[in-house]
Structure 1
Amino acid sequence: MCCLVALLMLVGPRATIVIWWLFDSGRWSQAFDVFLIPVLGFIFLPWTTLAYVLIFSGGVTGLDVVLLIIAIMADLGSYGGGWRQRERISRR
């Protein structure tokens, strides 16, 4: 079950980015001026990239900052979650 959750955390947002970009590339070009930024977001911070594109049209204000912080925490959690497991496994 844990492997399934980890797989969804890694593949899910990236698949969403690709599908959303294919169907609504105008919104992506409006949110990002340079093509390199969303590509780096796709690789390193997919949840944050999705959240930014979602809230960009109205501007980043108020509770939008909270959504971005939650997205950053989800990205960091998907990278750091395996370290705790690895430490626990190596002790056995």
Structure 2
Amino acid sequence: MPRLRLAPEGIGLHLWLVPERGAARAVDIDDLDISEELADRIEAWGDAFDAVVDEVEPSATAFPTPEAEVLWRAEGQLIAAALKDELGEDFEIETRF
């Protein structure tokens, strides 16, 4: 079963297909059989992370408040659960954030 990873690992790159061997590769959200509502949630979640990324000094990347980060992580977990619901047995879902 293929593994789909939800992880902000680059500006605009938030979904990854993870093979058993080799490097993960970015997946275009339009290539997944998911609802438009879920796709919009994923894009908004990714945009929230992209907005705080410090490209010059990645270690300085931070949310404006601890609460904002907690909410972002919680939404990520809800999105992962929704991906599992919508994709069913076709994918194993993992998170990395």
Give the TM-score normalised by the residue count of structure 2: 0.37
Q: Which has a greater percent of strand? A: 2
Give the TM-score normalised by the residue count of structure 1: 0.38
Q: Which has a greater percent of helix? A: 1
Q: Which structure has the greater CA radius of gyration?
A: 1
